[in-house]
Structure 1
Amino acid sequence: MIKFLSLLALVCTVLLSPGASAQVYSTTDPLAHTFSIVARDPLTGDMAVAVQSHWFSVGTAVSWGEAGVGVVATQSFTNKSFGPRGLALLKSGKTAQQTLTELLATDEGRDVRQVSILDAKGNVATHTGKKCIDLAGQQTGRQFSVQANMMLNATVWPAMAKAYEQNATLPLAERVLAALAAAQAAGGDIRGRQSAALLVVRGKATATPWDDRLIDLRVDDHAAPLAELDRLLSLHRAYEHMNAGDLAVEKNDMPGAIREYEAAEKMFPQNLEMQYWHAIALANKQQLPAALALLGPIFRQEPNWRTLTGRLPKVGLLTVSPAELNQILTLK
């Protein structure tokens, strides 16, 4: 592997013009030849970057974003510094194009780079170096850009753009995944597939920055990374219902909690966590027979849930009488 990377470093040096004085690739840089999309939801202002590649853990190299600032996809012979540096330039007030121009001006490897930047206003700037490996290209549209290199054919990025534009009614995360799926269906990476990532950030930063990264999902190594990423997004949506159910419990809104837990459970009916908290909400709503019907199979499948149940009254998460608690804990 070391010899392989060293050879690629030499190749990249040769790719530069004769007058170039610096190597443009080092053995610490990822080879994220790939397809990606950056996009902004014009209704919410939220921004997304999504990617798939035949390279391990592509999300740790290609996709970058910050709420209220923008998103960056940096790929091909990847210059990872374009991520944090690009976001810093956007944060300083520069547009997407100004940011891209400044990044490329100081990079002697610009001819083998591919990068796309989207700012919080929806402006997009994209660069595909003239020495990116064929087939490579880009296409921009209203508040989005798709870009790809080392593709099987030249229909990949147009297919991405078309899918994104045709799925305008979908939430932003699902919409960008539809674009990735179209890219794969059109041929995708000539080497195949290995990893994928999805990042969505708020259009405006809030006073709680820990909540500003709305979705951050990665599939580092998988035979079908887009299918797995889609499953993880669905699971994320289900746990959004779980979180809403927990919030309803905090507010003593048991009907609301039951609705949210039921919604989550319907999405993933085999998930014991979702079944369990639905049952606890039912018990707290004095619907003990329905709660027992759910809890019995859960306890038989995993006894630790029974142990956990005995600890809930102490912290106020299970508000049943001692007799009812005993009935729950002695379920067969």
Structure 2
Amino acid sequence: MKRLAFLFPLVLTLLTRPAAAQVYTASDPLAHTYSIVARDPQTGDLAVAVQSHWFSVGTSVSWAEAGVGAVATQSFTNKSFGPRGLALLKSGKSAQQALDELLRTDEGRDVRQVAIIDNQGRVATHTGSKCIDMAGHQQGAQFSVQANMMLTNTVPAAMAKAYEQNTKLPFAERVVAALEAAQAAGGDIRGRQSAALLVVRATPGAGVWEDRAIDLRVDDAAEPLKELARLLRLHRAYEHMNAGDLAVEKNDVPGAIREYEAAEKLFPQNLEMKYWHAISLANKQQVPQAIKLLGPIFRQDANWRTLTQRLPKVGLLTVSATELKQILAAK
């Protein structure tokens, strides 16, 4: 009875505490993390990339729209800052004006970390005074890097240096290099779990499906940045595959072979890339070379042999009946 009497005042205090004292809610993910927002000075493309010890960080932190800008919202994450920030940019506000408006109406501003870049490359960044150490950010020419709950205070500087020094890399690979530098500098004090990379076009395309140049997520992995880099290489390989398919449509067989070979070099273990390279060789009357490639593929998975039987009907394999029989007999 005495114990209950002791607890009652404490419970009453908790129940009557003003709601404004709560600066985050159960719906606000605790995405303590490091990220980068950037604009490619060559193309105008926009990117946001992130890694965290949090499941599926890309669904919370990273937001971007073609021709508009990119937003990274983290720490005690206010997800609404993503779509609202982009809407403010779209209305004509600068990155700083958009950020000021978001923070003005947010009672949890002290625990937020936010970075915004607009379509002109202007950046605005906020690290709340109550973000968990080590926390900070660094801005550069058309980019901003930001981090909180890091093992060391050197992460933002390491990210900025990596991004600035890797100008010879393609834009997406340059952004990932900044994330890798953050991890090398100690990264998240809790470890790592997920990562994401989003790149949107400088200007909107004919349809929204054309606006995202790269959209990759690693929701749960022991080494998410390694997996993100692998997916980016695979993305590049399939860019060559798509170019090869386009060359086939235009009856440019030599062009298709070049593109399929480039894809195969990036991922030599991928059966599909080897397969279409072989089919292109067959269509260029190089059947013996095609059979040499197709034999190991058929041995690993007989379904590719079945698919080959169906290609002449739709004009994707233009060989004689005798050559087709030779191809299907490949071992």
CA RMSD of aligned residues (A): 1.3
Residue type at the aligned position of 1:41 = D
Query: How far apart in 1 are the matches of 2:232 and 2:292?
Result: 29
CA-to-partner distance for each residue in 1:9-57, whole Å, 9 max, x for gaps? Answer: xxxxx9xxx9872532221221100000000111100111010000000
- How far does residue 330 in structure 1 lie from its aligned partner after superposition? 2.0
Query: How far apart in 2 are the matches of 1:312 and 1:208?
Result: 31
Residue type at the aligned position of 1:256 = G
Are residue 258 (structure 1) and residue 257 (structure 2) matched?
Answer: yes
C-alpha contact 2:47 2:197 (8 A) present in aligned 1: yes
C-alpha contact 1:47 1:71 (8 A) present in aligned 2: yes
Query: How far apart in 1 are the matches of 2:77 and 2:281?
Result: 52
C-alpha contact 2:39 2:143 (8 A) present in aligned 1: yes
Query: How far apart in 2 are the matches of 1:327 and 1:209?
Result: 45
C-alpha contact 2:113 2:127 (8 A) present in aligned 1: yes
C-alpha contact 1:35 1:183 (8 A) present in aligned 2: yes
Query: How far apart in 1 are the matches of 2:273 and 2:208?
Result: 27
Match of 2:225 in 1: 226
Match of 2:93 in 1: 94
Match of 2:4 in 1: none
Match of 1:215 in 2: 214
Structure 2 unaligned blocks of 5 or more: 1-13
Query: How far apart in 1 are the matches of 2:168 and 2:202?
Result: 18
CA-to-partner distance for each residue in 1:279-309, whole Å, 9 max, x for gaps? Answer: 0000111110000000011000000000011
C-alpha contact 1:269 1:275 (8 A) present in aligned 2: yes
The structure with the largest alpha-carbon Rg is 2
Match of 1:283 in 2: 282
Residue type at the aligned position of 2:253 = M
Query: How far apart in 2 are the matches of 1:159 and 1:279?
Result: 45
4+ residue runs of structure 1 moved beyond 6 angstroms? none
CA-to-partner distance for each residue in 1:180-200, whole Å, 9 max, x for gaps? Answer: 111000010000001000000
Q: In the TM superposition, what are the counterparts of 1:305-324 in structure 2 within 5 Å?
A: 305-324=304-323
Given the superposition, is the C-alpha separation of residues 20 and 135 from structure 1 closer, same or farther in structure 2, using an over 3 Å criterion?
A: farther
Match of 2:133 in 1: 134
Residue type at the aligned position of 1:278 = H
Query: How far apart in 2 are the matches of 1:269 and 1:21?
Result: 57
Match of 1:65 in 2: 64
For the residue of structure 1 that corresponds to 2:20, the secondary structure is coil
Query: How far apart in 1 are the matches of 2:46 and 2:170?
Result: 11
- How far does residue 203 in structure 1 lie from its aligned partner after superposition? 1.0
C-alpha contact 1:194 1:223 (8 A) present in aligned 2: yes
- How far does residue 69 in structure 1 lie from its aligned partner after superposition? 0.4
Match of 2:22 in 1: 23
Match of 1:268 in 2: 267
Query: How far apart in 1 are the matches of 2:165 and 2:179?
Result: 13
For the residue of structure 2 that corresponds to 1:75, the secondary structure is strand
Residue type at the aligned position of 1:203 = A
CA-to-partner distance for each residue in 1:93-123, whole Å, 9 max, x for gaps? Answer: 1111111011111110000000000000000
CA-to-partner distance for each residue in 1:44-92, whole Å, 9 max, x for gaps? Answer: 0011101000000000100000100000000000000011111111111
For the residue of structure 2 that corresponds to 1:21, the secondary structure is helix
How many pairs align?
316
Q: In the TM superposition, what are the counterparts of 1:157-196 in structure 2 within 5 Å?
A: 157-196=156-195
CA-to-partner distance for each residue in 1:148-172, whole Å, 9 max, x for gaps? Answer: 0000010011100011111111111
Query: How far apart in 1 are the matches of 2:225 and 2:144?
Result: 19
Query: How far apart in 1 are the matches of 2:199 and 2:21?
Result: 35
Percentage identity across aligned positions?
79
Query: How far apart in 2 are the matches of 1:24 and 1:195?
Result: 25
Residue type at the aligned position of 1:33 = H
For the residue of structure 1 that corresponds to 2:288, the secondary structure is helix
- How far does residue 206 in structure 1 lie from its aligned partner after superposition? 1.9
Query: How far apart in 1 are the matches of 2:326 and 2:167?
Result: 51
Residue type at the aligned position of 2:234 = L
C-alpha contact 1:20 1:108 (8 A) present in aligned 2: no
Query: How far apart in 1 are the matches of 2:79 and 2:49?
Result: 16
Are residue 119 (structure 1) and residue 90 (structure 2) matched?
Answer: no
Residue type at the aligned position of 1:198 = L
Query: How far apart in 2 are the matches of 1:208 and 1:288?
Result: 40
Structure 1 unaligned blocks of 5 or more: 1-13
- How far does residue 331 in structure 1 lie from its aligned partner after superposition? 2.0
Residue type at the aligned position of 2:115 = S
What TM-score does the superposition give when structure 2 sets the normalisation length? 0.93
Match of 2:43 in 1: 44
Match of 2:11 in 1: none
CA-to-partner distance for each residue in 1:233-281, whole Å, 9 max, x for gaps? Answer: 0110011000000000000000000000000111111110100000000
